[in-house]
């Protein structure tokens, strides 16, 4: 089962001056996402060197569980709000264990 785990890294850059707003909105995603089926971890980080940068490190039990997460109401709401809060689109990459 370990080889089915999907890791997601999402990089988020807030517009200048909106770092606190972005942090507050991202924080709202933690509890509902962590309770979703297949969510192993959903960890939010903020850069020590640049307060405008946020990173999510996520692990999902399967690609199917990850796909079910994307249309969740709290995620859809975040992406709508992000249009006015972010300096650039969210950079999302998917990973699988290679060894």
Write out the two tokens for 99: 């060894």
Q: What is the pLDDT of residues 47-89, one digit of tens each?
A: 999 999 999 999 999 999 999 999 999 999 999 999 999 999 9
pTM score of the predicted model: 0.92
Q: What is the average pLDDT across 16-20? A: 98
Indicate the pLDDT class of residue 99, thresholds 50, 70 and 90.
confident
| Extended beta strands in 14-66, E state | 39-46, 53-60
Residue ranges of domains in the chain? 2-96
Alpha-helical regions (H) of 1-99: 19-34, 63-69, 73-85
Residue 1: both structure tokens together: 């089962």
Residue 69 Rama label (left phi>0; alpha psi -120 to 50; beta): alpha
The answer regarding whether domain 2-96 maps to CATH 3.30.70.100 reads yes
């Amino acid at each position: 089962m370990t080889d089915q785990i999907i890791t997601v890294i999402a990089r988020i850059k807030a517009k200048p001056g909106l770092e606190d707003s972005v942090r507050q909105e991202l924080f709202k995603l933690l509890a509902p996402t962590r309770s979703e089926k297949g969510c192993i971890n959903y960890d939010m980080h903020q850069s020590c060197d640049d307060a405008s940068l946020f990173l999510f490190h996520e692990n999902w039990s399967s690609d199917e569980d990850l796909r079910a997460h994307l249309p969740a109401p709290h995620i859809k709401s975040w992406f709508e709000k992000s249009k006015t809060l972010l300096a650039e689109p969210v950079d999302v990459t998917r990973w699988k264990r290679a060894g």
